[in-house]
């Protein structure tokens, strides 16, 4: 069992189910060891069924960044993303914490928080394609670009990554997360 409060850095392609997983962990108690779900600060508009984040202007984001209020921050596809330093207080209070991370940012996150546990969430290309079509956020060309990008981003996977898969039900995926936390 992971005894020390741990920061879990959830990674995976768009459509793999990270947001669904995090929303389920926020809404239902599955275990007493269940991690708190950290939100991200993002400079993009909130859409229906979008991820757990706080929308902010570029100006507000940059002011917070300059004030040192972010633990992690990165740029991706024209937007700015960050995780606040408040997660350190949550860890200090004895809580596990999980955050939706970024594959290209993983090495930097590991350098900043050496005990961070990266969780690499995978999915078959067939299931991923189907989910991207169902969620209908991208055009066909954007979906194809995302699928290609998913293969390219595999290069950021570190030896310390723990892999889970989300090809089946979300219940099974949640059990994988809880087993990771509760295993000896």
103: domain range? 7-179
Q: Which of the residue ranges 47-51, 117-121, 151-155 would you say has the lowest mean pLDDT?
A: 47-51
Q: Is residue 151 part of a domain?
A: yes
Rounded mean pLDDT of the chain? 87
For the chain, the domain total comes to 1
Q: Is residue 1 part of a domain?
A: no
| Total-model pTM | 0.86
- Which tokens go with 178? 């809880």
Residues 7-29 have a mean pLDDT of: 89
**With contact defined as beta carbons under 8 Å apart, do 10 and 19 qualify?**
no
CATH number at residue 21: 3.40.50.300
Q: Is residue 2 part of a domain?
A: no
Q: How far apart are CA 166 and CA 174, in angstroms?
A: 9
Residue 183 pLDDT greater than 80, yes or no: no
Q: What are the φ and ψ backbone dihedral angles of 3, each rounded to 5 degrees?
A: -90, -45
Q: Is residue 42 part of a domain?
A: yes
Calculate the alpha carbon distances from 35 to 13, 29, 131, 177 in Å.
Answer: 21, 10, 26, 9
């Amino acid at each position: 069992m992971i005894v020390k409060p741990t920061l879990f850095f959830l990674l995976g392609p768009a459509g793999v189910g990270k947001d669904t997983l995090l929303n389920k962990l926020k809404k239902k108690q599955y275990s007493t060891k269940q991690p708190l779900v950290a939100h991200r600060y993002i400079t993009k508009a909130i859409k229906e069924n979008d991820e757990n984040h706080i929308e902010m202007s570029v100006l507000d984001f940059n002011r917070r960044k300059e004030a040192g209020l972010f633990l992690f921050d990165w740029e991706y596809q024209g937007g700015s993303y960050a995780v606040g330093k408040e997660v350190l207080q949550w860890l200090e209070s004895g809580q596990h914490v999980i955050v939706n991370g970024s594959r290209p940012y993983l090495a930097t996150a590991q350098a900043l928080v050496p005990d961070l546990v990266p969780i690499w969430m995978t999915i078959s290309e067939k299931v991923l394609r189907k989910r991207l079509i169902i969620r209908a956020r991208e055009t066909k060309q954007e979906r194809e670009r995302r699928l290609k990008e998913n293969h390219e981003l595999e290069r950021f996977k570190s030896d310390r990554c723990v892999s889970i898969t989300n090809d089946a039900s979300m219940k099974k995926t949640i059990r994988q997360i809880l087993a990771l936390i509760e295993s000896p």
